[in-house]
Amino acid sequence: MAKKQQQQHQVMQQVPSIGGIRSSFQSLVALLIAILVVATIYIKQSNEQLFQYWTTYDKTITGLSSSCNLFAGKWVFDNRSYPLYKEKECTFMSDQLACEKFGRKDLNYQFWRWQPHQCDLPRFNATALLEKLRNKRLVYVGDSLNRNQWVSMVCLVDSVISPTFKSMHNNGSINIFKAIEYNATIEFYWSPLLVESNSDDPISHRVPDRIVRVQAIEKHARHWTDADYLVFNTYLWWRRRQMKVLWGSFESPEDGVYKAVKLPRVYEMALQTWAQWLEVHVDRNKTQLFFISMSPTHQKANKWGGIKGENCYSETKPVTEEEYVGDGASPRMMRVVDSVLGELKTRGLNVQMINITQLSDYRKEGHPSIYRKHWETITEEQLLNPKNYSDCIHWCLPGVPDVWNELLYAYILEL
């Protein structure tokens, strides 16, 4: 009997008490809550740091308040003074960007005005810009988002030029709009990675295995050499973990050396080649240089409080939370740009950053989505799920890129 009682006592000692279980559970809950609080604080601080980063570039312009940050502000609905042109009236509108033409019914995306906090953005005046461009070349160089901005600029000036005094000419990678009376051109040159690549064909550039020659730029750059204003961008085509680099030529690819280089190092290598070319070839007394920061995408609705798995499709209003920061742009790649531009500045060559990232990040409703020309036949399966073929990268016109050009206009008129 005594032995049995001793065994029962030992079992009782091995089984934790209800109070012990409750205490352990409470400790675990407390630990999880602590972790959640720390994570929330960390995310909030990270977002605040990103917000500050995306809105702090060299941004003051002579004639405006020295404290005016053109890139920090809010979108104001203004259907009296916007849009600055009508989609149907732009002679050279692109079907990829003509959302109203392809069935979009809610047109409020056309009526938003960017309002910096401490000042007003100068009102765009097409005639004043054309006078500034008289006998000059304004050249946009980059990818389809820079082409998006170029089409916007062409539309912004188109209405003040009579049909007999304007022309459009396409020649391979270069597209040239000419205001004949002013002897001025507004051009776009297709060079999505700035340096040479196997994606340089302006039409057939979707390749499964992207290859770049990070030390080769002359094939492209010779078309920009004598431009008066150069507006560069490059980001979208670099969005991958690594890129195959070719040391050699595309004419004799079998003789070259290939190596996969990770991001952002390969991006930095390309930008350094670009910067070296600018330093050697740009006439500093003539050419003004600009770099457009990365245009954000809106692929994940849960980032702005939407449903997980959705994207920009069916969005009709901008984000109103001023400190909202999405994930459609890469701070670490932008820091590479900052570094390269900073090095150029120390060597006496200034490239003005036009920071479009944060202000564009609010505009989740500004993309073409499904309202555009489709170059490939849409399948029945896609039609049943429109979000799967929505374009949440480019921008409807009139729309967000018009503001990018208003910012550019403000700098050009003050230079």
CB 145 within 8 A of CB 94: no
Task: For residues 318 and 109, give the distance between their C-alpha atoms in angstroms, rounded to a whole number.
Answer: 8
> Which residue is catalytic, options 158, 200, 228, 391?
391
CB 67 within 8 A of CB 336: no
To the nearest 10°, the Cα dihedral for 329, 334, 337, 339?
Answer: 180
Task: For residues 176 and 170, give the distance between their C-alpha atoms in angstroms, rounded to a whole number.
Answer: 6
Task: For residues 376 and 374, give the distance between their C-alpha atoms in angstroms, rounded to a whole number.
Answer: 5
Q: Which of 307, 347, 356, 300 is nearest to 327 (CA)?
A: 300
CB 266 within 8 A of CB 242: yes
Helix (H) or strand (E) holding 4: helix 2-14
Q: What is the DSSP letter of 120?
A: -
Can you read off the two tokens belonging to residue 214?
Answer: 């990070």
Number of helical H runs and strand E runs in the chain: 10, 13
Q: 3-state class of 209 per DSSP?
A: coil
Q: 3-state class of 23 per DSSP?
A: helix
Task: For residues 375 and 291, give the distance between their C-alpha atoms in angstroms, rounded to a whole number.
Answer: 30
> Which residue is catalytic, options 220, 298, 367, 394?
394
CB 138 within 8 A of CB 227: yes
Task: For residues 147 and 145, give the distance between their C-alpha atoms in angstroms, rounded to a whole number.
Answer: 5
CB 182 within 8 A of CB 133: yes
Task: For residues 413 and 407, give the distance between their C-alpha atoms in angstroms, rounded to a whole number.
Answer: 10
CA distance between the termini of the chain: 102
CB 135 within 8 A of CB 184: yes
CB 348 within 8 A of CB 303: no
Question: Is position 144 annotated as part of the catalytic site?
Answer: yes
> Which residue is catalytic, options 144, 197, 293, 390?
144
Task: For residues 214 and 200, give the distance between their C-alpha atoms in angstroms, rounded to a whole number.
Answer: 13
Can you read off the two tokens belonging to residue 21?
Answer: 């279980």
Can you read off the two tokens belonging to residue 117?
Answer: 């906090």
The catalytic site residues sit at 144, 391, 394
